[in-house]
Structures are given as C-alpha cells and as structure tokens.
Structure 1
Amino acid sequence: MNKIYILLGTNLGDRFQQLNLARKQLETHVGAIIEASSIYETAAWGVEDQPAFLNQVVLVTSELQPLACLNLTQHIEQELGRIRFKKWGERVIDIDLLYFNQEIIDLPSLQIPHPYIAERRFTLEPLVEIAPGYIHPVYKKNNVYLLDKCTDDLPVKKISDDEPYRH
C-alpha cells in the first residue's frame, strides 16, 4: 500500500466546503485518508494579491501508482471547478502530491517530492503536524528541520483543530 502526503488548498468560494469535498473525493477515488492535519489559514504565496488560503495536509493510503494518482487528483480538481488561469493564482481547489512513499520522481508532468516543500511555510506547518519525523528523500532532513530552516515569512495560522478529520 502506498503512503501519499497530499496538500489541499483553496481561496475561493466556501473554503471549508471545498476542503470537505476534496477529502471526500480523495477517499472515493484515490484511497483512505488515515490522517489529516488541522486546517490553516495562510497568506497567498507567489502571487500575493489575492484572498487568503485554507490549507490542509492529508495522508492517504492507495494502491495507485504515482501518475495514476496525479491524473485522478487533477480530475478531482476539475470536477470541483478548478480553472487554471495563471500560475499560483487564486483557485477553488488545489491538490498537490507532496510525498509518495520515499520515491523520487522527476518527470515533466510530476515531480515528487514536490519541488517547493522546503520553501513554503503553508505546506510545512500542516505537514509537521502529522509527519514531523518524515525524512525528505532528496534533502535527507525531516520536516521539522525543513520548517525550522524555511525562510518563508508569510503568516500561517491554525484555525481549526477542534474537530480534526481522523479515522
């Protein structure tokens, strides 16, 4: 069984509902969510002149191989109304594959580990919550270390941990 860490993000519409719908679609089409971080409100990264995001990291177990997983997560994004206007722009939902087991994949359509993990506090904060000791397969450092060394100073605020999504 593959273990896949996935980042969910949204900054348009009913953001909590978008995260909920994305989790349900992941469980229907990709695999069981066995752990999920709290939900964090985060400033937009890359293109900063846009609404704040809600972000969450989930750990999914799946029989899918990496490219099949990517295809399904992109299909889920489209089903939930994602339209790709511009890189790092606002979006109804974003589903990023962060880690896939301990694999290193470098294809034009898929890079695992996600190439920006170490540069994004909005990814590392929820990732550290559920996988502090996970070792990045390229940097050979755990997520706590990556967060400690992260130079991204955009605000990341935990807003929901009263009802964490757990099985």
Structure 2
Amino acid sequence: MARAWLSLGANIGDPRGQLAEAVRRIAAHPHISVSAQSSVLTTAPWGKTDQPDFANMAIAVETSLEPIDLLDVLLAIELAMGRVREEVWGPRLIDIDIIAYERQQLQTARLTLPHPHAHEREFVTVPLAEIAPELTAWIIALGSGSP
C-alpha cells in the first residue's frame, strides 16, 4: 500500500457537505482507505478572486492504486458529484487534487507530483500541515528550490 495526500475544495452549493461527501466516496473505493483528515479551512479564492470563499481540507489515504489510476478515480468522483470544468480557477462543486504520492517526483502530461503549485497555496499547506507536517515541509522546500 502506498500513501497519498489529497487536497479537497468547494465553494458553491453546500461546500462543507460536498467535502464530506467526497471523503465518503473516496473511502468507499475498494482500493483506497482514508487514514487522516484535516479540519475544514475557509479561504479566499486563489487565481480568480470574484467568487465565493472556499472550504478546503486535506486527507491522507492508503491505496494500492498507482498515481494515474488514483487520479482517474478522483476525477470520476468529481464528475459523479457534478463537477463541470468550465473555467480555470473558477467556482466548483468539488475539486480533488493529488498533492503528493509517497515522495515520488513525477511529471507526465496528466499528472505532476508533488502538485506543482501546492507550496504557493496556503489553502493546501495549512490543512496538509495539520495531518502531515514533515511532508508539508518537504513540499515547501522543493517548491522554493531548497534541497
């Protein structure tokens, strides 16, 4: 089993309810188990600021899925929950990102690990630090170019 860390966010509909539903759906997958969950943080939007505040959280999961397969499961959960990708950084019912998978560094057309912007976003680093402080420090160090 591998360990991965996910960032979840929502800002339309019932954001806190959608986060809880996303965690439930992730945990219900036969090859994923949720091992830790942060509290929910309310944050101002990032990138596109003329929209409602976001509810954000992080979870740690144990999975037998490879990174791309995990990504496919998470995208399917977003779609099943009504996520429509209309606008970059726009409002969303649910957003689930893989922040890190073990400490793999990976760059493909579909997935970059750790998440390339995680170190710049407090809505990722604050909840992640609550459940994985050492991993958060590693991500911040990588993002800032430190060894």
Please report the TM-score for the alignment, with normalisation by the length of structure 1. 0.81
User: 1:18-97 alignment to 2 at 5 Å?
Assistant: 18-29=18-29, 30-97=31-98
Contact kept? 2:4, 2:62, Cα under 8 Å? yes
| Other-structure match for 1:161 | none
Unmatched 5+ stretches in structure 1: 146-167
How many pairs were matched up?
A: 142
Cα displacement (A) at 1:71: 0.4
Partner-residue secondary structure (3-state), 2:123: helix
Return the alpha-carbon distance in structure 1 between the equivalents of residues 98 and 143 of structure 2: 18
| Other-structure match for 1:139 | 142
| Other-structure match for 2:118 | 117
Cα displacement (A) at 1:133: 1.4
Cα displacement (A) at 1:136: 2.9
Q: Give the counterpart letter for 2:7 in structure 1.
A: L
Please report the TM-score for the alignment, with normalisation by the length of structure 2. 0.92
Structure 1: 4+ residue segments shifted above 6 A: none
Partner-residue secondary structure (3-state), 1:70: helix
Cα displacement (A) at 1:15: 1.1
| Other-structure match for 2:14 | 14
Higher helix share: 2
Return the alpha-carbon distance in structure 2 between the equivalents of residues 96 and 140 of structure 1: 17
Q: How large is the Cα RMSD of the aligned pairs? A: 1.8
Return the alpha-carbon distance in structure 2 between the equivalents of residues 56 and 138 of structure 1: 21
Q: What percentage of aligned pairs have identical amino acids?
A: 35
